[in-house]
């Protein structure tokens, strides 16, 4: 498999992906090459846009004075906790992720009933 960029006569650019396989005769000698080429320009653009969007989101998450988190809605097991959690609450993000009952264990006892 080979990916490459081609330039058109009018200055346009396209990304192509080529798969090639040799064809052999009865004696095993290569007699031809079978090749399939696809235009992957749109998927390359989409990947670049997604990466840019992810970089913008990461920049936002790491600069806002707040805690961003993500958790499974059924188990409340955290899958992501921003680094600000440690600065603001004193607990490293790894504990939030590694300890299944971290949240429940750190809720004030009077708030546990309403937080379940």
Dihedral of CA 93/95/100/102: which sign? negative
The SS3 of residue 61 is helix
Q: Which two tokens stand for residue 114?
A: 């309403």
List average pLDDT for each run of 10 residues in the chain, which is 116 residues long.
Answer: 76 89 95 94 94 93 88 88 90 91 85 75
- pLDDT at position 70 is 92
pLDDT score for 55: 94
- The predicted model scores a pTM of 0.58
Domain limits, the chain: 1-61, 64-116
Q: Where are the alpha helices (DSSP H) in 1-116?
A: 41-63, 84-89, 93-98, 102-106, 112-115
Q: Are 17 and 40 in contact (CB under 8 A)?
A: yes
User: What's the confidence (pLDDT) of residue 116?
Assistant: 63
pLDDT at 17: 93
């Amino acid at each position: 498999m080979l990916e490459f960029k081609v330039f058109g006569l009018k200055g346009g650019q396209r990304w192509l992906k080529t798969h090639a396989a040799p064809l052999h005769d009865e004696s095993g000698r290569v007699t031809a090459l079978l090749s399939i080429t696809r235009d992957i320009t749109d998927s390359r653009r989409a990947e670049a846009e997604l990466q840019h969007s992810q970089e913008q989101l990461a920049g936002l998450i790491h600069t806002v004075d707040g805690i961003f988190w993500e958790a499974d809605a059924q188990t409340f097991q955290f899958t992501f906790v921003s680094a600000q959690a440690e600065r603001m609450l004193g607990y490293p993000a790894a504990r939030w992720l590694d300890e299944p009952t971290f949240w429940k264990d750190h809720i004030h006892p009077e708030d546990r009933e309403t937080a379940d």
